[in-house]
Amino acid sequence: MIHLENIQKSYFMGKQAIPVLKGISLDIFKNEYVALMGPSGSGKSTLMNILGCLDSPTAGSYILNGSNVSTMTDDALAEVRNKEIGFVFQQFNLLPRLTAAENVALPLIYAGIAKKQRLEMAREVLAKVGLADRSHHKPNEMSGGQIQRVAIARALVNNPSIILADEPTGNLDSKTSVEIMELFGSIQAAGNTVVLVTHEEDIAAYARRVVRLRDGLVETDKRREMAAAH
C-alpha cells in the first residue's frame, strides 16, 4: 500500500539545507498496524506529514496505492489526501463550538454530501468508536479520551484507506492511551491500515509492528538481520 524509496527531506534555513530524513525506505502493507518510534526530533512528524500527503519529500519516491505521489501537483495531492488519508493529531483539533457529530461530519462537506445525511453518517461512525450517546456533546463536555475518539471518528468518516495518527496518546493518561490503542486495533481488524507515532515502548507494543527512526534513517532490525544471515 505504501512504498517509500530513499525518501529524503531537508528544511531550509535561509540558504542552508538541514537534512532531517536521510533516505527512508519502507513498505507498509494493506491492513497493517504499525507504530513508528524514535527520539524527539528524529523526524517522525516530518515522515507522517509526507505519508499523509501534507508535505512533499526533497528527494526519493513515495508510491501510495500504486500512484507515485512524490511527483504530484499540490492539487492532485490534496485530492489523494481527501480520498485516501484520515489524520489524527495529538492536540485533537476539534472545533470547540461544534457538537461531536458536527465535528465528525466536517470532512463530508467537501465530499458534497447533504447535511442530514452527513450527520447520520457521523452518528454511525461515532457509534463505532463507542460514542453513540455523545453525538450532541461539545468538546468541553467530554473527557480527553472521548475527544480523541471523536477525532478518530472524524478521520474514519470518509472511509480512507489509511489512518495516520501522530502521537494520538500524547495528551492522555496511560489507561486511556491503552483504550485508544485498542480502538486502533479494532479499526485495523475492520480492514483499515493504521500507522501511528508514539515514543512509549509499552504503548507501541499494542501495534503489530514497530518501526524505529534514528538519525533520519529507519533503524535496521538486528534480530531480522540475524535471522536472514542464518
Task: List residues near ligand ADP by CB under 6 A.
Answer: 11, 20, 38, 40-46
Site string for Mg ion, 23-62 (x = CB under 5 A): ---------------------xx-----------------
Q: How far is the CB of 6 from ligand ADP (least distance, A)?
A: 18
Q: How far is the CB of 128 from Mg ion (least distance, A)?
A: 27
Least gap, CB of 197 to ligand ADP (angstroms): 7
Q: Which residue has the cell 540475524?
A: 226
Of the CA atoms within 13 Å of residue 198, those in its CB half-sphere come to 26
Classify each residue of 126-148 as buried b or exposed e, where b means 16 or more C-beta atoms within 10 Å of its C-beta: bebbebeebbebbbeebebbbbb
How many chain residues touch Mg ion (CB under 5 A)? 2
95: buried, middle or exposed (CB in 10 Å: 19+, 13-18, 0-12)?
Answer: exposed
Residues 6+ apart with CB under 8 A from 155: 86, 87, 88, 163, 165
103 near Mg ion, judged by CB under 5 A:
no
Q: 45 or 193: whose CB is closer to Mg ion?
A: 45
Of 28 and 104, CB closest to ligand ADP: 28
Closest contact distance (angstroms) between CB of 50 and Mg ion is 13
Q: What is the residue type of 72?
A: M
- Residue 42's binding partner, choosing from Mg ion, ligand ADP, none, with beta-carbon cut-off 5 to 8 A by kind? ligand ADP
Q: How far apart are the C-alpha atoms of 85 and 109, rounded to whole Å? A: 16
41 binding partner (options Mg ion, ligand ADP, none; Cβ < 5 to 8 Å by kind): ligand ADP
Residue 156: which of Mg ion, ligand ADP, none does it interact with, CB under 5 to 8 A by kind?
none
> ∠1-46-32 over CA atoms, to 5°?
30
Q: Write out the residues near Mg ion by the rule CB under 5 A.
A: 44-45
